A and B are shown apart, each in its own frame.
Chain A
Amino acid sequence: MMPLDAKTSPDDDAALLVAFAAGDPHAAKALVARLGPMVFAMAHRMLGNRAEAEDVAQDALVRLWKIAPDWDPDRAKVTTWLYRVTSNLCIDRLRKRQRFSGEEVPEQVDPQPLPDRRMQDDQRRDALQTALNALPDRQRQAVVLRQIEGLANPEIAKIMDTSVEAVESLTSRGKRALAKILAPQKNALGLGDGDETP
């Protein structure tokens, strides 16, 4: 019998979804364990806000549960479908934010002296999140999916409903913008010229 935990391979998602649709409660729990953290992390990176990320993750997964009885594994991977739904929900929220509050102004990070590597990593992560928040929605989506979630460009193209070339362009422009935003903070974060971490 297939183990129903969070360590099964991505190919098992479709099988778990079939078991879910058949009413297997273990499959429901296994799918939440596998996909919940992934969806939440993606939403958090896109939105930079925990409460909103929870709303989006919950919404995306409920949509998956509803479509489960009609799921066609030949049409898409479960994770691709879920990334796409999550991304679209995040972009809807980002656009609503911009309509109500005008252009977003990224928070400025003011790094403090770094007592250890862990804190340094925390601050780099936070600085990156702040910089990501300043990117246009599509660039942010492409950079998060490529550079942080580690997806291949063809899969990102499916998620974003665009071409591979467009994904490459969005990622490249996004990284250039990130480099520009993060440049003034590199020294403080232990990344200045000649001061790279091993």
Chain B
Amino acid sequence: MVMKHPEHDDIDPNLEDFFQAARAQPPLPRPAFMDTLVMDALAQQRPAARPASVLATLGQALGGWFGGAGLATAMALGLMLGVNFGDAMGVGMADVQEAAADEFAWLDDFAELTWEEF
């Protein structure tokens, strides 16, 4: 808050004349110095925000370059597992089918039962 200046000072009535003279003619900065201040300010300022491109928006949605790199790694790993998992799964499924056939062979005894006999 800026206060109103008293017209006369209680300590010395003439002091206010000195203060008034100082207020009337404040020390002014040189124009070249003001230019320096503007350059300082612009140099410290980060660039204004611009509308983002579609690619940049997509990149941001995927978490930036770091997130994108993680996604790419995950995709590569998934592809590798997919290619190799087929063979592994083929052997595994055959074993499972054979074991299941042995385990449930007794069911064959009921295969010829008719509903009437049952």
Contacts and interface: CB of A to CB of B under 8 A. Distances in A.
Given A147-B5, A150-B2, A128 B11 contact: no
Contacts of A176: 11
A174 to B, nearest CB: 10
A54 B29 contact: yes
Given A155-B1, A176-B11, A150 B27 contact: no
Interface string B42-77: 101111110000000000000000000000000000
B87 to A, nearest CB: 56
B1 A152 contact: yes
Contact of A121 (B1, B25, B33, B38): B25
A14 to B, nearest CB: 16
Contacts of A148: 19, 22-23
B37 A36 contact: yes
A23 interface: yes
Contact of B18 (A21, A127, A154, A196): A127
Contacts of B33: 36, 40, 54, 57-58
A183 B11 CA distance: 12
A151 B2 contact: yes
Interface residues of B, number: 38
Interface string B12-41: 111101110111111111100110111011
Contacts of A151: 1-3
A179 B29 contact: no
B45 A57 contact: no
Given A65-B45, A182-B15, 4 more contacts: A40-B27, A41-B26, A121-B25, A196-B17
Interface of A: 20-25, 28-29, 31-33, 36-37, 40-41, 44-45, 50, 53-54, 57-58, 61-62, 65-66, 68-69, 120-122, 124-125, 127-129, 131, 146-148, 150-152, 154-155, 172, 175-176, 178-179, 182-183, 186, 191, 196-197
Interface of B: 1-5, 9, 11-15, 17-19, 21-30, 33-34, 36-38, 40-42, 44-49
15 contacts: A20-B45, A28-B42, A36-B29, A41-B26, A57-B37, A61-B40, A68-B44, A125-B25, A147-B5, A150-B2, A151-B2, A152-B3, A175-B9, A179-B14, A196-B13
